[in-house]
Structure 1
Amino acid sequence: MSPPTLAVFKLASCDGCQLTLLDCEDELLGLSGQVEIAHFLEASSAVRPGPYDLTLVEGSVTTPADAERVHEIRAASRHLVTIGACATAGGIQALRDFADVEEFSRTVYARPDYIDTLATSTPVSAHVDVDFELRGCPVDRRQLLEVITAYLAGRKPDIPNNSVCFECKRRGTVCVTVAHGTPCLGPVTHAGCGAICPAYGRGCYGCFGPSGSVNLPALIPVLHRDGMDDRDAERFLHTFNTAAFEKELRR
């Protein structure tokens, strides 16, 4: 019996989530003995066609070509998992959603007529059905390995859906907002990073996007109390998961 096949594809992204998988090193070597890595250009030029048992997709959909490509990837995949803020929320490039993309193209490129792009940067789930979304910028290596092994074992991934505040409590980190008045997105951000920034006295920047239970409008007055005006708060939210936090604000 042939081993299950794993494929990794990239859309519009920085490659950071794929590098997280490569950084697994020893775990990845052990995994390679249990699966056939059929498509992973970041790691190997060897490519075999689908269908694939598990496909990981990094990056957002920003061009007409990628909008077509995700349908091809979906059709070739038994299970499709999107990894990272770009693939799950449109990424930082979703800032284009609130601006004039044609004006950007004229400003940045000498020949904008050569640029074939969409007016928006959207998550893969906006175009095809996705079996699981793993958040983060980049994703956490432990969570990534959990998702891969879970699907290969035929079970649901055990990924918590609580906020960064839970992680601060677990590691005994004093709340930077309560103790120091530091603006922090921890109460509304998905857990997974291990609360790294608060552990070093900095507020959470929302790298993992909105958590499962979000009351974002209630956080805005706290940000105001801690010295942010409306413009500051808007810029604070418009980073790695711009579109996802904006969606929560509109609810």
Structure 2
Amino acid sequence: MAKASVAVHKLTSCSGCQSVILNMGENLLRLIELVDIRHFIEAGVNDPEAQVDIAFVEGSISTHEDEARIQRVREQSRFVVAIGACACSGGVQALRNVKDSALWAGAVYADPGYLDSLADSRPVAELIKVDLELWGCPISERQLIAAIRALLYGVAPVLPTEKVCQECKRAGQVCVLVSQASPCMGPVTRAGCGALCPSFGAPCYTCFGPSEQPNCDALGERLVGLGIPAHEVAERFVSISAGVKPFQRAWARWRIPVKELEP
């Protein structure tokens, strides 16, 4: 039986999700026995025009080149899987969607006129049909392996939509929001990380994007009630997944213009 052909494409991103694949260890060796990797530059295989069964796409649509390339990826692939916060939500780059990115560019680059960036950073699904989204910053190796196995055997992958809080409860961890008055985003964030940050006493940062039916209004009001400044609450919602509508609306509700913050 012929192996399924696979490509891993990178758009605007940090390559963190590709690193998860490369760091799979023995599981990567088992994966190679099941699939034929046709394109994966970080693994030393370079054929971006290869026709494949499954294309994994890391990164957001942030440049004109990204726009053109993602269309080619869709044409060359039977299934397209968006991996990571950048591909699923626009990622950290989507801060430009709610901020003055021109001001940032002017502060960093001697001549911003040479930059070829789009006004917004968009998830892959806004431009093409995406068959599956694997959230995370970076993605979970466990979810990746489960998704690949399901696709290879023609089974629809089942991914969690519950909240990080439920992972915390099952693990018997103390709630950092309650015990530390820490601005934890677990009540509105999709599960899948194993509640990694709260397990070390740190707040959730929305790495896995919004959970199913997130109540951002209630969480925002709770954080403000804890004494966290409204503008800081707004920033928590858009720190990683600024391109998703529930978090954008929450940011718009609690943000305070800089001029209003000045004494």
Pairwise TM-score range, normalised by the shorter structure: over 0.9
Measure the CA separation in 2 of the matches of 1:96 and 1:34: 40
Cα distance, 1:111 vs structure 2? 2.7
| Cross-structure match for 1:246 | 247
| 1:45-124 paired onto structure 2 within 5 Å | 45-47=45-47, 49-124=49-124
C-alpha deviations, 1:160-193, integer Å up to 9, x for none? 1100011001111121222332221101000011
Q: Which amino acid aligns with 1:195?
A: A
C-alpha deviations, 1:46-74, integer Å up to 9, x for none? 53743210110000011111111111001
The more displaced of 2-11 and 41-50 is 41-50
The more displaced of 3-12 and 194-203 is 194-203
CA contact 2:163–2:189 (8 Å) conserved in 1: yes
Q: Give unmatched runs, 5+ long, in structure 2.
A: 254-263
Q: Give unmatched runs, 5+ long, in structure 1.
A: none
Alignment CA distance shift 1:225-1:100 (3 Å): closer
Alignment CA distance shift 1:126-1:172 (3 Å): same
Cα distance, 1:23 vs structure 2? 1.0
Q: Which consecutive segments of 4 or more residues in structure 1 shift more than 6 A?
A: none
| Cross-structure match for 2:145 | 145
Provide the secondary structure at the position in 1 that maps to 2:118: coil
Q: Which amino acid aligns with 1:147?
A: A
Aligned residues: 251
CA contact 1:38–1:49 (8 Å) conserved in 2: no
Cα distance, 1:98 vs structure 2? 1.9
Q: Which amino acid aligns with 1:246?
A: F
Measure the CA separation in 1 of the matches of 2:112 and 2:182: 42
| Cross-structure match for 1:128 | 128
| 1:159-170 paired onto structure 2 within 5 Å | 159-170=159-170
Cα distance, 1:248 vs structure 2? 5.2
TM-score, length basis structure 2: 0.90
C-alpha deviations, 1:14-40, integer Å up to 9, x for none? 000000011112111111111100100
Q: Which amino acid aligns with 1:150?
A: A
Measure the CA separation in 1 of the matches of 2:184 and 2:36: 42
Measure the CA separation in 2 of the matches of 1:135 and 1:73: 19
Measure the CA separation in 1 of the matches of 2:66 and 2:33: 31
Q: Which amino acid aligns with 2:170?
A: R
CA contact 2:237–2:248 (8 Å) conserved in 1: no
Percent of residue pairs identical: 43
Q: Which amino acid aligns with 1:64?
A: H
C-alpha deviations, 1:107-132, integer Å up to 9, x for none? 32223222111011110011111001
| Cross-structure match for 1:17 | 17
Measure the CA separation in 1 of the matches of 2:112 and 2:197: 39
